[in-house]
Amino acid sequence: AQKITQTQPGMFVQEKEAVTLDCTYDTSDPSYGLFWYKQPSSGEMIFLIYQGSYDQQNATEGRYSLNFQKARKSANLVISASQLGDSAMYFCAMREGQVRSGGSYIPTFGRGTSLIVHP
Amino acid sequence: DSGVTQTPKHLITATGQRVTLRCSPRSGDLSVYWYQQSLDQGLQFLIQYYNGEERAKGNILERFSAQQFPDLHSELNLSSLELGDSALYFCASSEGLNSGANVLTFGAGSRLTVL
């Protein structure tokens, strides 16, 4: 079974608008972490934001925020005031638990969402 | 610049050949991870090293091997190459082993094309 599901293969947004990229995850471990990475056309993977399962508040990093809904097992990325440079692939990833509880602690990635920002 | 250095950036070779991809982790990071990104499989974890020792294995083929040296740089060796091995190979590093957020910092990748 997929541990990370990104159901939107492609998204379009107008410059300066906000956009939400969906991510749902599957785990029975109470301790886990969720990540979002950006991959522009040049290929590198850029870390954007992290949310721990025990974090009380939703993570924010500049224009990026993570809409963490634990009960729904979703960790959607919200990009506010989109810029042309935000056009890229976006990957959601999860690492599970602690090694002592059987978790691998190795992040697994979703298939990604392609975001295109229109001027 | 992420601080993780991968060489070569691009590599074109023929089926049956062997190649070595090299990675220098970010300063202070002890863990190194190798991932393979292909169109059909997405981003797949291959193997992890921590301070010179293998710590976790993912979907790594027997034709592939890796090691981490005392200076913490790592090499991924791919042998008996097949067309399907064409992919973008990422190295990533993190500070520790299994603690905290364990945010991975990725290198720019090595794009391998097997003809």
pLDDT tens figures, A23-49: 999 998 888 999 999 999 999 999 999
Higher pLDDT, B16 or B51: B16
pLDDT in tens, B75-87: 999 999 999 999 9
The mean pLDDT value for B33-57 works out to: 92
pLDDT-based confidence at residue A104 (cuts at 50, 70, 90): low
Predicted confidence (pLDDT) at residue A99 exceeds the cutoff of 60: no
% residues pLDDT > 70 (chain B):
96
Whether chain A has a CB inside 8 Å of the CB on B30: the answer is no
Amino acid at residue number A32: Y
DSSP structure class, residue A74 = E
Predicted confidence (pLDDT) at residue A1 exceeds the cutoff of 80: no
Among A75-79, B19-23, B50-54, B68-72, which stretch is predicted with the lowest mean pLDDT? B50-54
pLDDT-based confidence at residue B101 (cuts at 50, 70, 90): confident
User: How many C-alpha atoms does A97 have within 13 Å on its Cβ side?
Assistant: 11
Among A82-91, B46-55, B75-84, which stretch is predicted with the lowest mean pLDDT? B46-55
Structure tokens that stand for A63 in this block = 């224009």
- For every residue of B73-110, DSSP letters joined together read -EEEEE-S--GGG-EEEEEEEESSSS-TT-PPEE---E
CA angle, residues A74, A68, A54, in degrees to nearest 5: 110
DSSP structure class, residue A28 = -
Q: Where are the beta strands (DSSP E) in A9-82?
A: 10-14, 19-21, 24-25, 32-39, 46-52, 60-61, 64-69, 74-79
Contacts of B91 in chain A (CB under 8 A): none
CA angle, residues B106, B110, B115, in degrees to nearest 5: 150
Phi, psi (degrees; rounded to nearest 5) at A9 = -65, -35
Nearest to A104 among B2, B56, B101 (CB): B56
Other residues' Cβ atoms within 10 Å of the Cβ of residue B47: 23
CB-CB under 8 Å, B88 with A109: no
Among A22-26, A91-95, B30-34, B55-59, which stretch is predicted with the lowest mean pLDDT? B55-59
Amino acid at residue number B93: S
Residue identified by tokens 């634990």 is A70
pLDDT in tens, B1-44: 889 999 999 999 999 999 999 999 999 999 999 999 998 888 99
Nearest to A105 among B2, B42, B102 (CB): B102
CB-CB under 8 Å, B56 with A45: no
% residues pLDDT > 70 (chain A):
92
- Which has the closest alpha carbon to B74: B114, B36, B21, B26? B21
